[in-house]
Amino acid sequence: MNVIEYLENNQTKNQIIKLIKDNLVLYQGIDSEIKFESFTGVLYNMFVKECVQNNQYISLSNESIRKIKTQYRFLINQLKAFSENDFDGKLSEIVESHRKVLVKILNSNIYSESTNQVLIPCSEYSDDFQTDILRINDIELLQPIIDVGCGKNCSLVMYLKGSGYTQVFGIDQYESEHNYILTGNWLDFEFRGNTFGTIISHMAFSNHFNRAIVFDDNKIELYIKKYFEILNSLKSGGLFIYTPAIPSIENKLNKEKFILNYYKNTENRKLDTVIIERV
């Protein structure tokens, strides 16, 4: 089922009701803004995880992210004032209303969900696996560095920081407790010219781009524009490192401005790692 069907499904609704019942004492014990923000972030991340598990290509706009977080703050306020005397009926009403608002937000999301599916793995990968696939340990990375689609665990960002790089950032739909991870959509993020030394995206940006190409959906032009915006945001000598490859767009690169290199991972050359250097 897609995300909308998931939210409208009675079985999943009952699962949420049980989860709230089991943890109600925690919500009602929130007594500071810090705790409020923390619980809001936890619930928001649970929702994003549910979305991704049902459709790995769901793309929440920054505006949708803001609205979803606001809705979870409202939910927590309702649970804080909740009385166990009318447990069953009232809680069901609260959850039903909450999920209807989430459906409304998703239906108005400018990067709307498509029903088309593509079987490309989507997961949280270890830093060892990513550094190996991306050949990161074989080259000196210019700073600042940003990992586009860094994942909830932002493992590659953490690895690079532990390796001595000081200006390392990430962007993902998941909320993070780290102030160097931006919660947002890469299509909404402005990659300003001559800003980054290295931009990395492992099984993220180019996966979504390839899917848009395969299904000829309404985000193709957005991805083309963002791809070249990313390249132009590199400093001289800067690198854009990603996998899988996007041959149709890579063939259009200006060879006088960018040096293109492919690194074979499997017999399927579409899964090559790509390293583009700005001259």
pTM (2 decimals)? 0.87
Q: Which CA distances in Å does 229 have to 22, 32, 44, 257?
A: 47, 41, 29, 14
Biggest distance spanned by C-alpha atoms of the chain: 72
Token pair for 173: 């739909």
Q: Per-residue pLDDT tens for 168-220?
A: 999 999 999 999 999 999 999 999 999 999 999 999 999 999 999 988 777 89
The rounded distance, in Å, linking the Cα atoms of 275 and 243 is 9
Average pLDDT in the 85-102 region?
84
pLDDT number for residue 17: 86
Confidence of residue 29 (pLDDT cuts 50, 70, 90): confident
For residues 136-165, give the mean pLDDT. Answer: 95
- The confidence score (pLDDT) of residue 28 equals 84
pLDDT tens column, 243-279: 999 999 999 999 999 999 999 999 999 999 999 999 9
Q: What does the pLDDT read at residue 50? A: 83
Q: Which of 2-6, 136-140, 166-170 has the highest mean pLDDT?
A: 166-170
> What length is written for the chain?
279
| 33-37, 124-128, 164-168, range with greatest mean pLDDT | 164-168
Who's near 183: CB < 8 A, 6+ residues apart? 65, 171, 172, 173, 174, 175, 176
Of 44-53, 80-89, 213-222, which range is least confident?
Answer: 80-89
Split at pLDDT 50, 70, 90, the class of 12 is confident
- Residues 117-138: pLDDT tens digits? 544 445 678 889 999 999 999 8
Task: Check residues 146 and 119 and name the one with the higher pLDDT.
Answer: 146
| Beta-sheet strands, E only, within the chain | 145-148, 168-172, 181-183, 196-202, 234-243, 258-263, 273-278
Residue 118: what pLDDT? Answer: 45
- The per-residue pLDDT for 121 is 43
State whether residue 19 is helix, strand or coil.
helix
DSSP state of 186: T
